[in-house]
């Protein structure tokens, strides 16, 4: 795809997939609008762009997106036209369904699904006027299947598939395409911001860090389990014929004092 002079609005641009897309698209000549709730992190991302002059910043909290016209008003020049909208923001979860509070589930749904709707409506209306545009939504394989410790997270991702599959049918005749991207497990900061049963960030360490610390003999406790060696790598095999690359299949099975804990 030719990204030259394309206006691309990226939600969740301060880290992870969104940040990487911002770097790549800007390098290829695209004008990127960086959105997220952390202004300092967005500015750090902007400073690392190949062409930072071809970018803008709009601080946006996905739990507070009721009035997009008001939020974008100071940046009307940047939002005069939008060629591509990329949704890559949200939060994850690390808690059992039976322990997860309703308020925690509501926060996950607001961040991962409901908060997107006003943004999408705002951008899609401009695309209808242009008779062109693309909406790209980063979901998860949990939008297709559920997974351990991800009940509310999986529900939010399933909601994305239902909403955007329906939206696609409604706006495709206006020259607008809607794409759902369903990656497997990817090492990003989202795991460190995953919510526990009460809606607090768990501060999860990465799998690589976890393995290193366990092998060094350090005592680690996760979700109330005392983890012990050895750490065994397992391969996730989906129950359908959907193709998943080797890099996306890896999960980790860790033996604890009493049973087995699966971490992703």
The set of catalytic residues is 153
Cis peptide before 230 (omega within 30 of 0): yes
Helices (H), the chain: 16-27, 39-47, 68-72, 102-109, 116-130, 151-171, 207-215, 246-249
Tell me how far apart the alpha carbons of residues 68 and 72 are, in angstroms, rounded to a whole number. Answer: 6
Q: Listing from the earlier edge strand, what are the strands of the sheet with 133-138?
A: 55-59, 31-36, 7-11, 84-87, 133-138, 176-181
* Cα-based angle 231, 152, 117 (whole degrees, multiple of 5): 130
Other beta carbons within 10 angstroms of residue 53's beta carbon come to 8
Bridge partners (DSSP) listed for residue 93: 195
Tokens at residue 158, please? 């399933």
> For residues 113 and 160, is the Cβ–Cβ distance under 8 A?
yes
């Amino acid at each position: 795809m030719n990204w030259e002079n394309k206006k691309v609005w990226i939600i969740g641009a301060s880290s992870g997939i969104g940040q990487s897309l911002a770097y790549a698209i800007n390098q290829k000549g695209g004008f990127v609008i960086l959105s997220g709730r952390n202004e300092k992190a967005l500015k750090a991302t902007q400073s690392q762009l190949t062409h930072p002059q071809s970018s803008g910043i709009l601080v946006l909290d996905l739990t507070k997106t009721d009035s997009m016209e008001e939020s974008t008003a100071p940046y009307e020049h940047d939002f005069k036209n939008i060629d591509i909208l990329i949704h890559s923001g949200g939060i994850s979860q690390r808690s059992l369904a039976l322990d997860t509070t309703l308020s925690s589930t509501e926060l996950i749904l607001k961040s991962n699904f409901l908060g997107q709707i006003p943004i999408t409506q705002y951008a899609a209306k401009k695309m209808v006027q242009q008779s062109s545009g693309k909406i790209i939504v980063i979901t998860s394989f949990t939008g297709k299947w559920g997974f351990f410790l991800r009940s509310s997270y999986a529900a939010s991702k399933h909601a994305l598939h239902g909403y955007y599959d329906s939206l696609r049918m409604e706006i495709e005749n206006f020259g607008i395409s809607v794409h759902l991207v369903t990656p497997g497990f990817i090492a990003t900061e989202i795991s460190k911001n995953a919510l526990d049963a009460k809606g607090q960030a768990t501060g999860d360490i990465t799998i690589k860090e976890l393995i290193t610390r366990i092998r060094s003999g350090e005592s680690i406790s996760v979700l109330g389990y005392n983890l012990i060696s050895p750490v065994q790598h397992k391969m996730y095999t989906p129950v359908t014929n959907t193709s998943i690359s080797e890099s996306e299949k890896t999960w980790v099975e860790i033996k604890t004092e009493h049973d087995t804990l699966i971490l992703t």
